[in-house]
A and B are shown apart, each in its own frame.
Chain A
Amino acid sequence: MTDLTIGVTPAARSRESQPEAPKAKELVVGIDLGTTNSLVAYMDRGVPQVIRDAEGRGLVPSVVAFGPTGPVVGDAARRMLVRHAERAVYSVKRFMGKGFEDVREELRYFPFRVTPSQEIVRIRIGDRELTPPEVSALILRELRTRAERHFGRPVEKAVITVPAYFNDAQRQATKDAGRIAGLDVLRIVNEPTAACLAYGLQRRKEGVIAVYDLGGGTFDISILKVKDGVFEVLATNGDTHLGGDDFDRALVDLVVDELRARHRVDVSGEADTLQEIRLGVEAARVLLSSEERTVFTLPLPQHDLTYRRELTRAELESVIGPIVARTLGPCRAAINDVGLPLERIDEVVLVGGATRTPLVRGRVQELFGRVPHSELNPDEVVALGAAVQADILAGGTTHMLLLDVTPLSLGIETLGGAVGVLIPRNTTIPTSANEGFTTSVDGQSVVDMHVVQGERDLAKDNRSLARFDLRGIPPMPAGLPRIEVTFLIDANGILSVTAKEVRSGTQASVEVRPTYGLSEAEVERMIDESLEHAEADVRARGLIDARNEADTVLRATEKALVQGADFVGAEEAARIREAVAALAAARSGEDAGAIRAATDRVNQETQELAERLMDSALRDTLRQRRVTDVPAGEAR
């Protein structure tokens, strides 16, 4: 038997499996790349910690805005949503690993434009087109920078979480985003499982645990068995298009409809107004988790109207009730797959910001017949768990092991369009399956296979992952070649395919055409571009900083020349004016270095004047005992 598995494995994809000598514990961070918010955490001497900014905020809003100086991420980008909605991208996670047709329906809720195509989603911002992994990479880069500032050294390795119900394309897209952000993604971990790790570390309890995870845009239910430090996922189910976003959409629709019906005002075409409504109803919804009623106010000066409306919790619940109900089907399916009676589920844990909603808690409690846990901050627990898994991979934590499952059945399209299942859903990963292929025509040299993921009987009803061509089969009568294909799902839940020709010694190769993914060449190009952009961004920022500095110096110098008119000689004044003119000229150029040099020259020429002004001001202060405006301080 000849081994004919052939390298479609590009060097970069297998880089992480290169030999590496064991060494001191490396720095690996855990990242929760969320629909609404993202955060980064690390393991600090056995305790997972969220990395916060100077103001103590751990959450970075998953919003990217493209301003004149390059992309901004987080709170600043979120603020741009209401004034420049068309230049901001949010909830990009809903687009990861998706095709245009998949998201066409919900595009009306988004201010940005998406280019219609047969392939993956491409978001249009100005004259730029970005894929969801590129936008996600900008968020990851921001988190990476935050971590690097915290540690004072480069951060290059990460564990990133994804919804448990993410398919192969969505996982691959997340991994690609990490690579574009310059991160070696050591592991993709499922969010509910990560949350369970964080809880497990804290409480060290054993038993069967259900994790109900309702985030901004995705819903997961995972049922785990925890025993002797092994966290074994028994079943998982979910909906990757269901979350708090959908609550807000229902409320936005309510407001827009009311404006139309009661005030004859149609705002459905006003992107900025829609964003203002969206952020407003989101705030109202969050408030109604603790209050019984709130008032939603929306000034609409362009329509000479201020929309005010009281919203009660009961009303909110009637609006979101049908959406919450959609989470119960997957819960029942997962319980059914586990095959245990409900009483055997010892605990229920709530994860994700949307589980703060009392209605959600109520429905979960009804379904499972027990009060759910939420001791750990539902916004942070996933990142904490990611940090635990990062520490396991870095060789730190050894008493815990996570055994996750593949959420969707993997199969190949057979004759007639049916699906032959190779790896059923809820199979513990890593896992592999073999399948034999042969030819149907004499002398056939290529065998094509179509790999799908999903639970439906027909291939067309499932998610198309990729088409694989086995090439280089030697000419033989039909049915004689024996090609053994191995499908391997690794611990990330990501598929790889390899092939061996059993009968002959001739090489065959596997060629992949991902249905909704980036090709290796595209990822490589994006990595290069992101580096270029990063440089361009740094340059742009440098220019802005230099101009701001120049402006400050110019203003202060003008002021000093007026106030210090008595102390300045004619020649000195001429020299200063000349330097000021040079700086003004440099400032209108694009060269940050020239601006800085001209600024320095002005500073130099005005130094003596500044000192004299300072002395004079001091004398004045001493004499008159009053505080004087000291322009010299500004002029340095």
Chain B
Amino acid sequence: MFGGPILGAVTARDGSKCWSCGAVAPDGDVCPECGRLQPFPAGSDHWAVLGLERRLGLDRSDLQKRFHRLNRRLHPDYFRLRSSEEQTISLEASAAVNTAYRALRDPVGRVEYLLELEGLGLGTAGQAKPPADLFEEILELQEARMELQTADADEAPALRARLEGARTELGSRRARAETELTACFPEWDAGDDATRQRVLGRMRDILATRAYLRTVLRDLDAALAVQTDGGATDQ
């Protein structure tokens, strides 16, 4: 917690030339001439770090293979006896690989990251949008949730049943939103600029809906958990 290695200290290298001996050396790999570890270029996106083109359709097991292979090459464990420059490069590069893998392995995270790169990010939590057709029902649900808190033994079961039904319904809506999202991937991957812009807008709306559903579901979970209590002693 007390400061640390100065990141980026040696990341600036001249094109694809080794920072140490000047030979041509690939990013995030060891120099074929002198064996020194090379950094990823500053500002590399997550796809570039994992050696991929910017696409949404990705194979999860291929991603994991890359994640493992890269860490096998540049993890700090293997550079402890090397120079401090290389240790810093290794730390930085390994962190970049780990962050990239985490962001890309999950389809939702992948789209969120892409939207951010395109300047269309949803921001933290904000911008969640209720699905138009469910807006009224969700308002009523909020009321039912409030009522459950003060409900007596007679009213509670009916309210609970209602909320549980809603939870199932909204849960499947969220799953549907995720299916719709991944259905957009081939179109974005194959599309021209105009198509991509259009698909991005659609994905952004789907994510906004999903974010909203997630918040409502979390509230429902909390409301139902307080009453059920089965697992409360576990926490």
Partners in one complex: yes
Q: Assess whether B88 is interfacial by the CB under 8 Å rule.
A: yes
Question: Are B3 and A17 in touch, CB under 8 angstroms?
Answer: no
Question: Are B7 and A186 in touch, CB under 8 angstroms?
Answer: no
Bound CA–CA A13/B5 (angstroms): 10
Question: Are A401 and B3 in touch, CB under 8 angstroms?
Answer: no
Chain B binder among A134-142, A225-233, A373-381: A225-233
**Residue in A closest to B234 when the chains form the complex, CB atoms:** A329
In the complex, which residues of chain A have a beta carbon less than 8 angstroms from the beta carbon of B4? Answer: 9, 14, 488, 490, 496-498
Q: Assess whether A3 is interfacial by the CB under 8 Å rule.
A: yes
In the complex, which residues of chain A have a beta carbon less than 8 angstroms from the beta carbon of B223? Answer: none
The 0/1 profile, CB within 8 Å of A marked 1, for residues 68-79 of chain B is 100110011110
Classify chain B's interface size.
35 or more
In the complex, which residues of chain A have a beta carbon less than 8 angstroms from the beta carbon of B92? Answer: 432
Residue in B1, B6, B72, B84 with the greatest tally of chain A CB atoms within 10 Å: B1
Question: Are A486 and B7 in touch, CB under 8 angstroms?
Answer: yes
Known: A230-B71, A232-B68, A420-B124. A465 touches B8 (CB 8 A): no
Number of A-B contacts (CB under 8 A): 128
In the complex, which residues of chain B have a beta carbon less than 8 angstroms from the beta carbon of A7? Answer: 3
Question: Are A172 and B1 in touch, CB under 8 angstroms?
Answer: yes
Known: A403-B71, A427-B98, A486-B7. A20 touches B81 (CB 8 A): yes
Contact of B6 among A5, A168, A227, A465 (CB under 8 A): A5
The 0/1 profile, CB within 8 Å of B marked 1, for residues 328-352 of chain A is 1110100000000000000000000
Question: Interface of chain A, helix or strand or loop or mixed?
Answer: mixed
**Residue in A closest to B88 when the chains form the complex, CB atoms:** A17
The 0/1 profile, CB within 8 Å of B marked 1, for residues 453-494 of chain A is 000000000000110000000000000000000101011001
In the complex, which residues of chain B have a beta carbon less than 8 angstroms from the beta carbon of A495? Answer: 1
Question: Are A496 and B2 in touch, CB under 8 angstroms?
Answer: yes
Bound CA–CA A516/B99 (angstroms): 29
Question: Are A3 and B1 in touch, CB under 8 angstroms?
Answer: no
Bound CA–CA A466/B3 (angstroms): 12
Question: Are B91 and A227 in touch, CB under 8 angstroms?
Answer: no
Question: Are B3 and A510 in touch, CB under 8 angstroms?
Answer: yes
Contact of A13 among B3, B95, B96 (CB under 8 A): B3
The 0/1 profile, CB within 8 Å of B marked 1, for residues 1-19 of chain A is 0010111111001100111
Q: Assess whether A22 is interfacial by the CB under 8 Å rule.
A: yes
In the complex, which residues of chain B have a beta carbon less than 8 angstroms from the beta carbon of A512? Answer: 1-3
Q: Assess whether A520 is interfacial by the CB under 8 Å rule.
A: yes
Bound CA–CA A227/B71 (angstroms): 13
Bound CA–CA A232/B1 (angstroms): 25
**Residue in B closest to A393 when the chains form the complex, CB atoms:** B80
Known: A230-B71, A329-B235, A431-B98. A168 touches B91 (CB 8 A): no
Contact of A427 among B3, B75, B83, B102 (CB under 8 A): B102
Question: Are B234 and A8 in touch, CB under 8 angstroms?
Answer: no
In the complex, which residues of chain A have a beta carbon less than 8 angstroms from the beta carbon of B81? Answer: 20, 22-23, 395
Question: Are B91 and A325 in touch, CB under 8 angstroms?
Answer: no
Q: Assess whether A250 is interfacial by the CB under 8 Å rule.
A: no
The 0/1 profile, CB within 8 Å of B marked 1, for residues 143-180 of chain A is 00000000000000000000000001000100000000
Q: Assess whether B233 is interfacial by the CB under 8 Å rule.
A: yes
Q: Assess whether B87 is interfacial by the CB under 8 Å rule.
A: yes
Question: Are A329 and B7 in touch, CB under 8 angstroms?
Answer: no
Q: Assess whether A201 is interfacial by the CB under 8 Å rule.
A: no
Residue in B78, B87, B234 with the greatest tally of chain A CB atoms within 10 Å: B234
In the complex, which residues of chain A have a beta carbon less than 8 angstroms from the beta carbon of B72? Answer: 230, 401
Bound CA–CA A172/B1 (angstroms): 8
Closest Cβ–Cβ distance, residue A170 to chain B (whole Å): 12
Question: Are A488 and B7 in touch, CB under 8 angstroms?
Answer: yes
Question: Are B84 and A431 in touch, CB under 8 angstroms?
Answer: no
Question: Are A490 and B76 in touch, CB under 8 angstroms?
Answer: yes
Question: Are A186 and B80 in touch, CB under 8 angstroms?
Answer: yes
Question: Are B1 and A497 in touch, CB under 8 angstroms?
Answer: yes
Bound CA–CA A398/B102 (angstroms): 25
Bound CA–CA A465/B2 (angstroms): 11
Bound CA–CA A304/B43 (angstroms): 78
Contact of A8 among B2, B9, B96, B235 (CB under 8 A): B2
Bound CA–CA A326/B232 (angstroms): 10
Question: Are A430 and B83 in touch, CB under 8 angstroms?
Answer: no
In the complex, which residues of chain A have a beta carbon less than 8 angstroms from the beta carbon of B88? Answer: 17
Contact of B98 among A20, A330, A430, A494 (CB under 8 A): A430
Question: Are A491 and B84 in touch, CB under 8 angstroms?
Answer: no
27 of the cross-chain contacts (CB-CB < 8 Å) are A7-B3, A8-B2, A8-B3, A17-B87, A18-B84, A20-B82, A22-B81, A168-B1, A329-B233, A330-B234, A393-B77, A395-B81, A427-B99, A427-B102, A430-B95, A431-B99, A432-B96, A488-B4, A488-B7, A488-B91, A488-B95, A490-B4, A498-B4, A498-B6, A500-B8, A510-B3, A512-B1
| The 3 A-B residue pairs with the shortest CB-CB distance in the complex, in nearest-first order | A496-B4, A329-B234, A9-B3
A sample of 12 more A-B contacts (CB under 8 A), given A3-B9, A433-B99, is A5-B3, A14-B5, A20-B82, A230-B72, A403-B75, A427-B99, A429-B98, A430-B95, A431-B98, A466-B1, A490-B91, A491-B94
